[in-house]
Structure 1
Amino acid sequence: MSSGGGTSTFVIRWINFLTSLLAMGVVGFGVWMSTHHDNCRKSLTLPVICLGAVIFLVSIIGFLGAWKNNTILLWIYLVFLCVILIAILVFTVLAFIVTNNGSGHDIAGLRYKEYELNDYSSWFLKQLNNSHNWNHLKSCLVKSEDCNNLSKNYKTLKQFKLAKLSPIEAGCCRPPSECGYPAVNASHYDLSFHPMSSNKDCRLYKNSKSIKCYNCDSCKAGVAQYMKTEWRVVAIFNVILFIVLSIVYFVGCCARRNASRDNSKV
């Protein structure tokens, strides 16, 4: 075997060995999520487990192909890896397109921003305005205790006004500032005042722990901002993963080519 062929197969062998260990960690994390999270987050476990399983399978094929210097296995490995690269690229491009729109609005006297649903992409609007999707998300928000924890985290009204709330806390746990409802504390507003705005969210907000502003467009906008942030993180991670896997793919091509050359000499 040529020195180039030996180097490429050695590198692809060890890269895929380490990748297979990483994949087992991903599968283990998915299993852990399924046993330590509620039904709302369990929906994330299947994709995590499947992703880990696919990476593990491809890594094993690549490792065996490089170890045995087997052209067929290396071809299968490269085809699978190419499909994964295309899938990552498509998802990443779509993620950047979907999260391109939408940002918060500064409110005088507040350290956090408020969000408007119509600022976000049509994809977010379609998903969040779907009653089935939103009812599921709303049940998760009620169970999350985010709104209930505000009164525990901010004992005084001054602390609450100086707080830097998350998009979900700002949109789902309180009425929009334009409503003009005076805050009694971090979890209670004086709703006896006539709202200063015609925004329907002003009428939908209730102090009840199970209602709050969970039916408001401002809550949907807060969720959209949260999803946008999460998707951006995933998209950036995918860019890094795409670059790494592209290098692995290139090394795999070299290993496959050298394996074919060595087999033709036999």
Structure 2
Amino acid sequence: MSIHHDSCKRSLTLPVIVLGAVIFVVSIIGFFGALKNNSILLWIYLILLCIILLAILVFTVLAFIVTNNGSGHTVAGLRYKEYQLQDYHSWFLKRLNNSHNWEHLKSCLVKSDDCNDLSRKYKTLKQFKSAKLSPIEAGCCRPPSECGYPVVNSSFYDLSFHPISSIKDCKLYKNSKNIKCYNCDSCKAGVAQYMKTEWRVVAIFNVVLFVVLSGVYFVGCCARRNAAKNRSKT
């Protein structure tokens, strides 16, 4: 998802920044504890690192659970998939159906290039029909295929045609770049699929981070024992 609004960037990167800052502070405590051979600092370091490890473990397990549901549906004649909101985990549904959360996400989508760039990326109708759209492009930038609206170009549909489906998304879609299908369930489903993919990447990274920090924790335990032995000798 191409996001150029500062608040949108902050909302996506803040958890990673906070985790990095906490690990940095804890590492400083461990460094000075080892440097000064101070068992108290090393105890504080090990306790904090243990809390971080438990938090990473819990988050990773939850991430794999909530990203286990949901997948795209193939549509005849299209190279990309369409997504349905009810397919995803209730955790995603609760947050995406929250009006405050969705208004913030919607403002990010309107300011992004996901829909605005389609007319520049696909000059002809043939190019657009053979395109492999992202989940957000497929869900937010166009009406669902079951509506049956004739495609004029990559950013315009003939809405004078009566939709062949009764789903509410067909009535919510507008050709205006500020409206599109941003209020549609298909758009929320596209965002859910995007979040699912990103969370899976973060979860895999957290598995690696957990293994590395576990090794660091073991080294810290050895350093604390050595500090305790040296202290008892003196």
**How far does the alpha carbon of each residue in 1:213-255 deviate from its partner, in whole angstroms, 9 at most, with x for none?**
0010000000000000000000000000000000110111111
Tell me, which stretches of 5 or more residues in structure 2 are unaligned? none
Residues 145-177 of structure 1 show CA distances to partners (whole Å, capped at 9, x for unaligned) of 311110000000010011111000000000001
Alignment-mate amino acid for residue 141 of structure 2: C
Q: Aligned residues, how many?
A: 231
2:80: which partner in 1? 112
Which of these residues, 144, 165, 175, is aligned with residue 197 of structure 1? 165
Deviations 1:64-110 (A, max 9, x none): 11122211111111001001000100111111111110000011111
Aligned residue type for 1:71: S
Distance in 1 separating the partners of 2:170 and 2:36? 68
- Paired residue for 1:64? 32
Question: Partner of 2:18 in structure 1?
Answer: 50
Q: Which residue of 2 aligns with 1:92?
A: 60
In structure 2, how many angstroms separate the alpha carbons of the residues matched to 1:244 and 1:174?
Answer: 44
Indicate which of 182, 206, 209 corresponds to 2:174: 206
Q: TM-score, normalised by structure 2?
A: 0.95
The one-letter amino acid paired with 1:206 is K
User: For residues 4-153 of structure 1, what are the structure 2 equivalents within 5 Å?
Assistant: 37-153=5-121
Q: CA deviation at 1:123?
A: 0.8
**Cα offset, 1:46, TM superposition:** 4.0
Q: What amino acid sits opposite 1:135 in the alignment? A: E
Q: SS at 1:43's partner residue?
A: helix
The share of aligned pairs that are identical, in percent, is 83
RMSD: 1.2
Q: Does 1:253 align with 2:221?
A: yes
Report the Cα distance in structure 2 between the residues aligned to 1:184 and 1:232, rounded to whole angstroms. Answer: 36
Partner of residue 219 from structure 1, selected from 180, 187, 209: 187
- 2:203 alignment partner in structure 1: 235
Corresponding letter in the other structure for 1:126: K
Q: How far apart are 1:43 and its partner, in Å? A: 2.7
1:114-152 Cα distance to aligned partner (Å, 9 max, x none) = 000000001111101111111111111111131111000
Which residue of 120, 127, 130 maps to 1:162? 130
Counterpart for residue 16 of structure 1: none
What residue ranges of structure 1 are gaps of 5+ in the alignment?
1-35
The offset of 1:39, in angstroms, is 2.2
Q: Per residue, is there more helix in 1 or in 2?
A: 1
Q: Which amino acid aligns with 2:104?
A: H
User: What displacement does 1:45 show?
Assistant: 4.8
Q: Which one of the candidate residues 131, 134, 139 is aligned to 1:171?
A: 139
| d(CA) in 2 for partners of 1:37, 1:195 | 34
Aligned-partner Cα distance in 2 for 1:50–1:96: 21
**3-state SS, counterpart of residue 152 of structure 2:** strand
Measure how far apart 1:179 and its partner are.
0.8
